[in-house]
Chains A and B, each alone.
Chain A
Amino acid sequence: MSLGLRGLRSESLLPGTSACPGCPENMAMRMVGMALGKNVAMVVVAGCSSVIQGIGPKNAYGYPVLNIAFAAGPAAASGMWRAFKQRNKDVTVVVWAGDGGTADIGFASLSGAAERNEDFIYLCVDNEAYMNSGGQRSGSTPHGAVTTTTPEGKKENKKELLFIMLDHNVPYVATASVGYPHDLMDKLKRAKEVNGFRYIQILTPDPYGWLFDPSKTAEVGKLAVQTCYWPLIEVMNGKVRVSNESLHCLKKETRRPLKDFLSVQGRYKKLPERDYLELEKFVDDLWERIISMS
């Protein structure tokens, strides 16, 4: 099946980045460029993407980037769009952060910027661990996953950023996966048209942290959606819309077994049955909550 991406040009990624093979963040960055075009200023907080852009003074991103410490991304973006406003410049400001920068160390400034309804797009590239420092557990690591700091498998569930951000009542919240580029780009384009705080959480399966073959990144990103582990939804002005790719998740009978997603990853190699059931329950609860919102 052709994805039909060939005709689209990405403004965001120049040839020759420092990314690992199969890097999902590179994929997501390319899609951001295809959807948002050139008139973007980006704040990149500490993480893989501070490395992927290469060694300064060169920059492999087609955007002006302010690299900044973990907890300051949303604050810096707040200052940035306000400065552009003062200079009468219409620039889309984008924060790019990992799940660590979003769910954990950067959460206070994220929540503060959301509460103030600051006018920028916040992208959380969620690879479910601190991958840039070698794969330690984060607040966003799911139950049972083996990381370098949870060699026995994580005991707690994934922090549910989607719902936490919805509770901030911001104008636009969405989830996406690098497995479904068109869905992500549609959401980015819609987000661009909205004023105020916009949050998109993109699932970025990491071959080195999740332990799968680097050629399979997109496939794993799809499996996460097909097994309903990762929902593709969008909430605009309080209205929930489930993407076509996730519609089958609304009924439990039509969901693909979660095993199909877990079995392709090394981090779930030795998952005990009770942890599997816990993960299944996590998915059931997730969808129950989404259904209750629609």
Chain B
Amino acid sequence: MMKIISGNEAVALAVKLARVGVVGIYPITPQTTIIEELAEMRARGEISTDVVRVESEHSAMGVTLGAAVSGVRAFTATSSQGLLYMHEMVWWAAGSRAPIVMVVATRAVGAPWNIWNENTDFMSERDSGWIMAFASSPQEALDLTLQAFRISEDPRVFVPMMVGMDGFILSHTKTNVYIPSQEDVDAFIPPRRQPYVIDPETQESMGNIFQPVHYMKLRQSINDAIADSKDVIREVGREYEKINPLADYKTLNVEYKLEDADYAVVTMGAWSLDAMEAVDRLRERGISVGLYRVRYVRPWAEDEILRALGDKKGVIVFDRATSLGRGGPLYLEVKASLNNPVKGVVAGLGGVSMNKRDFMEAISTSIEEMKRGSFREVTWYYPSEVKEVELGTPRSAI
């Protein structure tokens, strides 16, 4: 069924279709309408999901983890400061190897206060031991959330999974979304299975002190499970096409007009579509460029990336996030996989808007630089209308 809904509504529908048992919820912009929608569904009697209205994001993950290790399917969603406040429990969930699904409607992290979109919150969790996918449309938010339950509960994986989507841009914008039927989803996501359940009958315990070498073994097991999940993700993606005939999830990441291109642009999330339009226009002007969209940050699809980008004369990576003092995290990841020239562009932070023309300018300038052979490794790009912004000089405290 096609329906015009927002990204947040799409995620709430995915939670409903996946028959989630317990949801720990705490409101934070721009994620809030996911949990409001779930609360409404519960009030209307459409779901039997236990919706727990907790007092903080730390507790939201606490409830979700408590339910997940006790044997039911569990979900939560958050953003920005909320994800950072939850950070400790995000690691605890991964270390417990508890299949959990979380959606992050991304947003800048203060200070100063900023409610607009940026991917730094999401990217700051990439060391925590979760599988991490990032959507580029409300449709993908729904698809990836449904797939996340399948992937994280797969016996070859048993690692929690988070799905990112650009705050407001996807979370609040309504587009046409294909919603699979309940019967199809029931066939796609089997009843929950997990190896360890807290239960007096089985006497399993979790999380007590480990000897150093056992601890390290456990960390490696999570590392290997995530690294090896690529095949599971591709397999689940192919299976998903049975319940959404319009979908294409055969690969982790997505290529656009790359095969014959000399130069490649790498993006993630909603602005990929603006960047694709820019690529089309640049091609009309005879610039040989294609686009590569990262859909999975963890596992990192090095094989796919090498195959798609390894022979390009130059690769330009757009980051909507920073590792301050070093550049963008996506740039660092791509650069670590390639031996050819890679340039990073930090843009669109804290809601700074990037349109097709901005992408055209940033891409063509970068290609010119790369052609000359001397290019700045990382540049911060400001669209023309905000180039004038200046901050005062910090004053001495004395």
Contact = CB atoms under 8 A, between A and B. Distances in A.
Interface of A: 38-41, 43-44, 50-51, 53-57, 59, 61-69, 71-80, 82-87, 89, 91, 108-109, 111-113, 115-116
Nearest to B70: A83
Interface of B: 21-22, 24, 50, 52-56, 58-72, 74, 88-89, 92, 198-200, 202-211, 214
14 contacts: A40-B200, A43-B66, A57-B205, A62-B203, A72-B62, A77-B66, A79-B22, A79-B64, A79-B65, A108-B59, A109-B54, A109-B56, A109-B59, A116-B54
A133 to B, nearest CB: 14
Nearest to B48: A86
Contacts of A71: 58-59, 62, 88
Nearest to B53: A116
Contacts of A69: 88-89, 92
Contacts of A109: 54-56, 58-59, 62
Q: Which 8 A-B pairs have the closest CB atoms?
A: A75-B62, A79-B66, A112-B55, A67-B207, A76-B66, A83-B70, A79-B67, A75-B59
Nearest to B203: A64
A62 B203 CA distance: 8
Given A43-B66, A69-B92, A109-B55, A89 B199 contact: yes
B52 A116 contact: yes
Contact of B200 (A50, A67, A91): A91
Contacts of A67: 205-208
Given A56-B209, A87-B72, A91-B200, 19 more contacts: A40-B200, A55-B209, A56-B205, A64-B200, A64-B203, A65-B206, A67-B207, A67-B208, A71-B58, A74-B62, A75-B60, A78-B24, A79-B62, A80-B67, A82-B22, A86-B50, A87-B71, A108-B56, A112-B54
A40 to B, nearest CB: 6
Contacts of A72: 58-59, 61-62, 65, 88-89, 92
A40 B58 CA distance: 25
B310 to A, nearest CB: 42
A264 B204 CA distance: 41
B205 A59 contact: yes
Given A79-B24, A116-B52, A41 B67 contact: no
Contact of B55 (A54, A61, A66, A115): A115
B198 A78 contact: no
A41 B199 contact: yes
B89 A65 contact: no
Contacts of B22: 79, 82-83, 86
B63 A65 contact: no
A26 to B, nearest CB: 16
Count chain A CB atoms within 10 A of each CB in B62, B68, B210 and give the residue with the most.
B62
Contacts of A75: 24, 54, 58-63, 66
B63 A76 contact: yes
A59 B204 CA distance: 9
A245 to B, nearest CB: 32
Contact of A68 (B62, B68, B203): B62
Contacts of B69: 66, 80
A55 B58 CA distance: 27
A76 B93 CA distance: 11
Contacts of B50: 82, 85-86
Output the residue of A50, A82, A109 with the most chain B CB within 10 A: A82
A59 to B, nearest CB: 4
For A40, A79, A109, the residue with the greatest tally of chain B CB atoms inside 10 Å of its CB is A79
Contacts of B207: 56, 65-68
